[in-house]
Amino acid sequence: MTGMLPPGFRIQRETNTEEFFINMGPQHPSTHGALRLALRMDGETIVELVPHFGYIHRGMEKQAESMSYLQYIALSDRQDYLTAIQNNLGVVIALEKGMNIGVPEKAEYIRVMLQELGRIASHLVFFACFGGDLGGQTCLLYGFKEREMIHDILEEVTGSRLTTNFFRPGGSRYDVPDTFIPRVKAFLDHMDDTMKDYERFLSKNIIVLERSKGIGILSKEDAIAYGCSGPVLRASGVNFDVRRANPYSIYDSFDFEVPVTYNGDCYDRYTVRIAEIHESMKILRQCIDRFPTEGPWRAKEKPVRLPVGRYYSEIETAKGLYATYVVAATTGEKPYRIHTRGPSFPHIAALNKMVQGHKISDLVTILATLDPVIPEIDR
């Protein structure tokens, strides 16, 4: 039997039924991009899963070696396109450490607000795709409807809906327009209302409950061992959020909770994300109350040149821990190397642990609750 196994498969199993192998992807609507999952099946039950990456590998880390730091900020948009604005901040914080530059208070507030808007947008896409993958196409439209409002705000502030390229060392590219705060306020009021509807729509739905409770359980130990982060880790009962554990920007001055659940199944990953939308809205409301109208929105502009050294930053994006490691071998505009630690890769690595023994239709649910973005894995 061993000799016949395709490369990557390890588990030996004594059965008297015939096992077979199928491919899911790379072109499959529920793999959220070009991801290929090779499945070893026993009937309809998954015995083992081997993910194959690299269909959209663009060599971003190699590209970064021939780019200036500013150009890399623009490139970081293209990693996880759902949280582009958060990736920008991750890179910029690492650069700020190198340039030893402070950030004025107003700029910090702009940053935090855009971060949280981006987080809500990403979680709404999760909500939409989760419902969509379970067969409720209505849900797909609902999630995107509110996300569109966030993107309108982002478009007005940054000039682009998705690839924002907005933050710069010492602040951001522009000041926010006067309409920004009223628009965010209007969005939050609208969102309060809509979230009630959405939770009513999906959270207690019997089909969702039956298909997600007890499915794809990731134990606390496994989640830590695989290096999961973000909502996936918190759904397994680990209270770890970079905003709390290692605060960046001004997150330590806000009052918010880190939602944690303990079962580690698909439904818990869903509830954690829904709770995070509410926490983000709480942070946004605090920002609106305290938003400084006066003051500079950018530190004095300096050319982006980093002295020789190694600089590291980590932030919490909607998907999890996003870390940037910049190595500057010569003082100048160009990095020697920039390494990115993206959150989705460990989640896909842990997928094999979660799906074993489940049916193939459960794999779709599990994959949806991991909320992976494939361009971020492949980079």
Residues of this chain that interact with another protein (CB under 8 A) are 67-68, 70-71, 74-75, 138, 142, 145, 148, 155-160, 163, 165, 173-174, 177, 197-198, 200-202, 204-207, 209
Question: What are the backbone angles phi and psi of residue 49, rounded to the nearest 5°?
Answer: -135, 135
Smallest gap, in angstroms, from Cβ of residue 250 to another protein? 25
Whether residue 372 has a cis bond before it, omega within 30° of 0: no
Smallest gap, in angstroms, from Cβ of residue 63 to another protein? 9
Distance, CA of 189 to CA of 177 (rounded, Å): 20
Closest CA to 137 of 149, 125, 128, 126: 128
Distance, CA of 39 to CA of 224 (rounded, Å): 25
Q: How far is CA 252 from the centre of its chain?
A: 21
Distance, CA of 279 to CA of 256 (rounded, Å): 6
For residues 160 and 352, which CB has a smaller minimum distance to another protein in the complex?
A: 160
Smallest gap, in angstroms, from Cβ of residue 41 to another protein? 29
Smallest gap, in angstroms, from Cβ of residue 227 to another protein? 31
Distance, CA of 96 to CA of 183 (rounded, Å): 30
Quote the strand ranges of 118-248, DSSP E.
167-168, 171-172
Per-residue burial over 333-350, b if 16 or more Cβ lie within 10 Å, else e, is ebbeebebbbbbbbbbeb
For residues 158 and 261, which CB has a smaller minimum distance to another protein in the complex?
A: 158
Smallest gap, in angstroms, from Cβ of residue 210 to another protein? 8
Smallest gap, in angstroms, from Cβ of residue 67 to another protein? 6
Distance, CA of 172 to CA of 107 (rounded, Å): 7
Other Cβ atoms less than 10 A from the Cβ of 314: the count is 18
Whether residue 182 has a cis bond before it, omega within 30° of 0: no
Smallest gap, in angstroms, from Cβ of residue 147 to another protein? 11
For residues 198 and 240, which CB has a smaller minimum distance to another protein in the complex?
A: 198
For residues 19 and 199, which CB has a smaller minimum distance to another protein in the complex?
A: 199
CB 298 within 8 A of CB 292: no
Structure tokens, 270? 């869903």
Residue 248 in 3-state DSSP?
coil
For residues 155 and 221, which CB has a smaller minimum distance to another protein in the complex?
A: 155
Smallest gap, in angstroms, from Cβ of residue 201 to another protein? 4
Distance, CA of 239 to CA of 258 (rounded, Å): 7
Residue 255 in 3-state DSSP?
coil
For residues 67 and 101, which CB has a smaller minimum distance to another protein in the complex?
A: 67
Smallest gap, in angstroms, from Cβ of residue 230 to another protein? 27
Question: What are the backbone angles phi and psi of residue 21, rounded to the nearest 5°?
Answer: -115, 135
Distance, CA of 375 to CA of 377 (rounded, Å): 5
For residues 155 and 252, which CB has a smaller minimum distance to another protein in the complex?
A: 155
